[in-house]
A and B are shown apart, each in its own frame.
Chain A
């Protein structure tokens, strides 16, 4: 293979980055296009450099490895790196994702790079990332914040501040405190990860934070609208109303 593999490496610990750089510099056919110390930098660097491969540590400040994956706008082969994370390891095994356990040898890294090269050559990327990210979290842990991209920046929206979420074609609009943020995600994926006691799918295209609910009004036979504290109206389907009644 004559093509040079353009790699981004992401790790918050300087000694770990130093070691990785040392290994990569000794590997022929690999060039480091960016070295990032946190998830925000990683998301930006991917957009900027369009690398062939990312070496991604999981435990990092601000955005962890999985959150970085969630925010990527293109499919990108990734080799995950971790010292110890039982949930993540199980997810990697299930989804046949390549990963490195710290501390690892230069040979072990070379093997992973070779595999990645073959995958890129064949054009097969990664398993569905939504599934990987969801299964890498400990069971029963609800989503506590939603990350959205704002240009090359990342916005963190605590789920507490979310009023309602609306499906829009292939994306969702997250309404929080009078602002709305678009995110490329399916409503059903988001629905599964939110606290089921607070966020209710009141309609095929709407999820509602019941803490914001002021009243429900009958609008026509079998159809209702929920009125939020700020006066916003959200449609409620019959099955959505049943789910709401069950909870209230």
Chain B
């Protein structure tokens, strides 16, 4: 939309700005001896009004060929040609009006335009059109910066939304409300157990809040958080949930992105143990070489359950995190063989972001 035509206030201001042009040109016509004040004003005023609107057309080439575009010489030629054409049209209009005056009986004497008058009008037209080009470029620049601002704001809002969603997923409302229900149940039958559960739930939530960032942390920390989660869940599931760990000691210090293991364990409960009447055993493992760390989670699945929807969200989050940190150097594999479901993450041991940068210097 045209920035001046679209806004009444802009249009009024723009037209007012042309009044000094009317005055100057009228003075010029009088000084060069074309006619009297009244006669000159009658010629100049309609000409300027028409030209003011004609100059608004400069917006379209300005928008099509923004400043700093690929071919500035094209833009220059286009604008000069448009200016010359507009000035010529203006001269034509002046001639036509002057001719009209001569035919009318209102004015005595000769009112034809001399070469001098024509030159003044042509030069004025040329310059005024180019001025309008400059003004339109200003508008275009203002609009571009506004659009950039809007885009930045929108991006910020989208980022906030994503953060909020992640937070909600992290809080895991289903887990939270069920845990509170377990606490409510334990208060009469097992008050000490209720107290323990409150403490474990607190520890887990504190860990969740701490994990907001994206800094790498030792695998040991991620495992600690997973264990807190499983301790709370084991109250709900009772004997149905068994956990076996197979963690190589040498892996504990390897730095991993936060929340890469937690979603896998949550899935193994939600889609594995929770679907089995008798429950089963979750196996959490880690093994590493000097280059690669492999962590995995295995759980039994109900042979009759047809992979119900919803499993993808947690896995997609993990995949996304891995991509952010390691690019395509990390892998997430998951699948079912028989009655066991296995999800496995393989990441480079010291190949991540800031670590590799620091070590890169000494390697040179």
Contacts and interface: CB of A to CB of B under 8 A. Distances in A.
Interface of A: 12-16, 18-19, 22, 37-38, 40, 59, 61-62, 83-85, 101-103, 138, 141, 144-145, 156, 158-160
A84 B177 contact: yes
Contact of B180 (A18, A22, A102, A158): A102
B277 A144 contact: no
A16 B185 contact: yes
Nearest to A140: B309
Q: Which of B181, B188, B238 neighbours the largest number of chain A CB atoms within 10 Å of its CB? A: B181
A103 B180 contact: yes
Interface of B: 173-174, 176-178, 180-186, 188-189, 235-238, 274-277, 302, 304-309
A234 to B, nearest CB: 24
Contacts of A141: 309
Given A101-B177, A141-B309, A156-B304, A61 B275 contact: yes
A40 B174 CA distance: 23
A22 B188 contact: yes
B306 A15 contact: no
Contacts of B302: 61-62
Nearest to B187: A19
A114 B31 CA distance: 101
Given A22-B188, A83-B174, A83-B181, 9 more contacts: A12-B274, A12-B277, A18-B185, A18-B189, A38-B277, A40-B277, A84-B177, A102-B180, A158-B304
A16 B306 contact: no
Contacts of A145: 304, 306
Nearest to A13: B236
A199 to B, nearest CB: 15
13 contacts: A12-B277, A13-B236, A16-B182, A19-B184, A22-B185, A38-B277, A61-B302, A62-B304, A84-B173, A84-B174, A84-B176, A156-B304, A158-B304
Nearest to B172: A84
B306 A59 contact: no
Given A62-B277, A103-B180, A15 B235 contact: yes
Nearest to A159: B306
B174 A15 contact: no
Contacts of A158: 304, 306
A75 to B, nearest CB: 27
Contacts of A40: 277
A43 to B, nearest CB: 13
Contact of B173 (A59, A61, A83): A83
Given A62-B277, A62-B304, A145-B306, A83 B182 contact: no
Contacts of A160: 306
A66 B309 CA distance: 16
Given A62-B302, A156-B304, A158-B306, A16 B178 contact: yes
A226 B96 CA distance: 83
Which 8 interchain pairs have the tightest Cβ spacing?
A: A19-B185, A83-B177, A102-B181, A15-B185, A103-B181, A144-B306, A84-B173, A15-B182
A37 B277 contact: yes
B274 A61 contact: yes
A79 to B, nearest CB: 15
A141 B305 CA distance: 15
A14 B238 contact: yes
A198 B182 CA distance: 43
Contacts of A22: 185, 188-189
Contacts of A19: 181, 184-185
Nearest to A86: B173
B310 to A, nearest CB: 8
Contacts of A15: 181-182, 185-186, 235-236, 238
A138 B276 contact: no
B197 to A, nearest CB: 9
Given A18-B185, A83-B174, A102-B177, A61 B304 contact: no
B309 A138 contact: yes
A37 B173 CA distance: 22
A14 B181 CA distance: 11
B110 to A, nearest CB: 82
Contacts of B174: 59, 83-85
Contacts of A62: 275, 277, 302, 304-305
A190 to B, nearest CB: 16
B178 A13 contact: yes
B177 A103 contact: yes
A16 B180 CA distance: 10
A11 B237 CA distance: 11
Contacts of B186: 15
Contacts of A101: 177
A18 B182 CA distance: 9
Nearest to A40: B277
Contact of B237 (A13, A83, A103): A13
Contacts of B237: 13
A174 to B, nearest CB: 15
